[in-house]
Amino acid sequence: MAIEVRNITKRFGDFLALDDVSVDIAAGSLTALLGPSGGGKSTLLRVIAGLESPDSGVVEISGTDATRLPPQRRNVGFVFQHYAAFKHMSVYKNVAFGLEIRKKPKAEIRRRVDELLELVHLEPFAKRLPSQLSGGQRQRMALARALAVEPEVLLLDEPFGALDAQVRKELRAWLRRLHDEVHVTTVFVTHDQEEAMDVADRIVVMANGRIEQEGTPDELYEKPANDFVMSFLGPVTRLGDRLVRPHDLELLDKAEDDSTEAKVVRVVRLGFEVRVEIQVDGSDVWVQMTRYVADRLDLEPGGRIFVREAVTSA
Amino acid sequence: MTDAPSPVVRYGMRILALGYLAFLLVIPVGLVFWRTFENGIGPVIEALSSPLAKHAFTVTLQVASIAVVANTIFGVAVSLLLVRHEFRGKRILNTLIDLPLAVSPVIVGLALILVYGRLEPVGGWLSERGIDIIFAVPGMAMATIFVSLPLVVRAVVPVLEEVGIEQEQAAWTLGASPIQTFRRITLPAIRWGLAYGIVLTLARSLGEFGAIAVVSGRIRGKTQTLTLFVEERFQNFDEHAAYAAAFALAGVAVVALVAMNISRPEES
């Protein structure tokens, strides 16, 4: 294991930020810490980095107990949401910082920084100041800076949170490719489930200072441990007393076994996707289907329809 | 949308602001300047090169440089403490820092005599060991340090708050020790706030009169600073020397302020 977190508890005053949290991060994995804000995911990341000290519990990095080590000696790379660029230094100097601190020979520093600037596509900007870069470029610079010291783990705290939607999508794909090239164990914090599913190969869902569930994106989506995970990781609707995915509901023209009668309230066509709002026993339910399925049904607001849970292969 | 103020209001406000500054600042200081150079530059140089004036200059520089160095170190340390750390009594410390602005310098001088005067326990003990505080440079430096205490802190604290702690934390994760982080990240980030605080401290130290007057004993040719020299010359109807020294005093402070504002880059 690259990172082992054992029974970590952390309070800020009366607020319990981490409540007896244990988690393993496999070497070479790309893990997302996912959850609503205030759920403890950033605190956990900062505890791993040594930027917060836990009240109790143990953090091991590459098999050594790092709980009492200062951040300088943990060999982690950390990337902040707001970049934390060294504003008075050029892009080159920013990336070279960790190497200069380690008193590496000048020629080696030059080679390594050039290599990293190429990796993050910032070679033409080496002499610029961070204030002359866009948000996306600054974050790539921060990544290169963190990677320069060859950390054992790379920790990213909401790395795309301050960027606009388009740049965010690009950087996501880029981080995924970077990880495939560099293979450094990576943990990133996000509150965006789509981002987590898109980028990570493992997801740890956190809320209220506890881990709700961990697993691959598919496992979490298909077999959520509880209603919270289910509703956090995708669309849900309530049929009777059960929480179901709206695309796992099937609408029928006539009654079958296990189907329930319902009334069509509204049909929303979003291009390929169609959302049908229905009423079952007086409560609102919505069903998600493709246009082609919707076209085969007789969906008129006010009309009668039958609904049941689709039989899935699982 | 609010309407733009009418021309009458706009010009009225400008005239008011300029007039206020003119009568309080520009005209009096301008007159000092004019009276100083009334008879050309010769008498000015002559007045400033008398042994007493030269000595006053030296004493002032001594006292001011001690105060600037002490308050720069203390100011940066306290600013870091106030902004980067949580501890009991932080609000009390914060209030204490501002105390010198509220207390009259004369009181500061008297208070120092109460502790370090030769007839007091602490002062007596030091005096027996050959260390004189009151009526000597150490006491004058202490008085000056006291009155200029808040200036560096108040200039640096807002900058430290604005810069935030993330750059420092990033430096830690990259392996920089606290000292390396301070030198390579924090200090460059606060340099203009610090420079401003230092210039204000220098200006305040050069101009201090009340506390110095009490603590120095006003011994001509020994503990007389430039401000004391100006006053003493003025009382002795040597207005020319008084104006010349006053001009020199103001000149140093203004040059320091202007030099800092020129060297400071536009964007930060």
Q: What is the pLDDT of residues B180-208, one digit of tens each?
A: 999 999 999 999 999 999 999 999 999 99
Q: Collect all residues of chain B within an 8 Å Cβ-Cβ radius of residue A84.
A: 166-167, 169-170
Query: Which tops the pLDDT comparison, A310 or B196?
Result: B196
User: What pLDDT, on the 0 to 100 scale, is given for residue A216?
Assistant: 95
How many contacts (CB atoms, under 8 Å) link A and B? 59
User: What pLDDT, on the 0 to 100 scale, is given for residue A290?
Assistant: 92
Of B167, B173, B188, the CB nearest to A77: B173
Chain A residue with minimum CA distance to B190: A88
CB contact under 8 A, B172 and A88: no
Q: Collect all residues of chain A within an 8 Å Cβ-Cβ radius of residue B167.
A: 84-87
CB contact under 8 A, A72 and B177: yes
| A113 closest CA partner among A154, A150, A77 | A150
**Which residues are A16's β-sheet partners?**
A11
Query: What's the CATH class of domain B43-263?
Result: mainly alpha
> What gap in Å lies between CA B265 and CA A61, rounded to an integer?
44
CB contact under 8 A, A97 and B173: no
Mutate to test the interface with A, among B86, B163, B173 (most CBs of A within 10 A): B173
| A40 within 8 A of A206, measured Cβ to Cβ | yes
Q: Collect all residues of chain A within an 8 Å Cβ-Cβ radius of residue B267.
A: 131
Mean pLDDT, to the nearest integer, of B47-57? 91
Q: Collect all residues of chain A within an 8 Å Cβ-Cβ radius of residue B184.
A: 97
Task: Report pLDDT digits (tens) over B215-250.
Answer: 998 888 899 999 999 999 999 998 888 999 998 988
Cβ–Cβ contact A223 with B under 8 A: no
Mean pLDDT, to the nearest integer, of B71-97? 94
Helix (H) or strand (E) segment spanning residue A11: strand A3-12
- Give CA torsion, residues A220, A226, A227, A231, to 10 deg: -20
Calculate how close chain B gets to A101, using CA atoms only, in Å.
Answer: 6
Calculate how close chain B gets to A16, using CA atoms only, in Å.
Answer: 19
Mutate to test the interface with A, among B84, B167, B174 (most CBs of A within 10 A): B174
Q: Collect all residues of chain B within an 8 Å Cβ-Cβ radius of residue A80.
A: 166, 169-170
Residues 6 or more apart in contact with residue A173 via CB below 8 angstroms: none
> What gap in Å lies between CA B22 and CA A91, rounded to an integer?
48
| B151 within 8 A of B199, measured Cβ to Cβ | no
Chain position carrying tokens 């008879």: B39
User: What pLDDT, on the 0 to 100 scale, is given for residue B266?
Assistant: 61
Q: Which positions in chain B have a beta carbon within 8 angstroms of at least one beta carbon in chain A?
A: 166-167, 169-177, 180, 184-185, 188-189, 267
Query: Angle A286-A226-A306 (CA atoms, 0-180°, nearest 5)?
Result: 25
Task: Report pLDDT digits (tens) over A217-266.
Answer: 999 998 999 999 999 998 999 988 888 999 999 998 888 888 899 999 99
Quickly state the pLDDT bin for B2 (edges 50, 70, 90). Answer: low
User: What pLDDT, on the 0 to 100 scale, is given for residue B3?
Assistant: 67
> What gap in Å lies between CA A38 and CA A15, rounded to an integer?
10
Give 3-state DSSP helix, strand, coil % of chain B, rounded to 5: 80, 0, 20
CB contact under 8 A, B172 and A80: no
User: What pLDDT, on the 0 to 100 scale, is given for residue A166?
Assistant: 87
Chain position carrying tokens 């004369």: B106
Mean pLDDT, to the nearest integer, of B153-160? 96
Determine whether A257 is exposed, middle or buried from the number of CB atoms within 10 Å of its CB (0-12, 13-18, 19+): exposed
> What gap in Å lies between CA A32 and CA A26, rounded to an integer?
12
Contacts 24+ apart (CB under 8 A), A192-196: A192/A34, A193/A34, A193/A232, A193/A233, A193/A234, A195/A32, A195/A160, A195/A168, A196/A32, A196/A34
Mean pLDDT, to the nearest integer, of B4-19? 89
| B68 within 8 A of B198, measured Cβ to Cβ | yes
User: What pLDDT, on the 0 to 100 scale, is given for residue B38?
Assistant: 85
CB contact under 8 A, A98 and B175: yes
> What gap in Å lies between CA A96 and CA B174, rounded to an integer?
10
Question: What is the ipTM for the molecules in this complex?
Answer: 0.87
> What gap in Å lies between CA A1 and CA A27, rounded to an integer?
5
> What gap in Å lies between CA B60 and CA B69, rounded to an integer?
14
> What gap in Å lies between CA B91 and CA B89, rounded to an integer?
5
| A278 within 8 A of A239, measured Cβ to Cβ | no
DSSP states along A44-88: HHHHHHTSS--SEEEEEETTEE-TTS-GGGS-EEEE-TT----TT
- Give CA torsion, residues A191, A196, A198, A199, to 10 deg: 120
Q: φ and ψ at A182, to 5 degrees?
A: -95, -30
Mutate to test the interface with B, among A53, A75, A76, A78 (most CBs of B within 10 A): A78
Calculate how close chain A gets to B180, using CA atoms only, in Å.
Answer: 8
A residues 69..98 contacting B (CB < 8 A): 70-74, 76-78, 80, 82, 84-88, 97-98
Chain A residue with minimum CA distance to B169: A51
Domain positions in chain B: 1-36, 43-263
Interstrand relation of A185-190 and A15-25 (parallel, antiparallel or unpaired): unpaired
Q: The dihedral of CA A116, A122, A123, A126: what is its sign?
A: negative
| B63 closest CA partner among B52, B74, B71 | B71
Taking chain A, what is the end-to-end CA distance rounded to the nearest angstrom?
31
CB contact under 8 A, A71 and B169: yes
Mean pLDDT, to the nearest integer, of A85-108? 96
Q: In this structure, what token pair is assigned to residue B88?
A: 């009991």
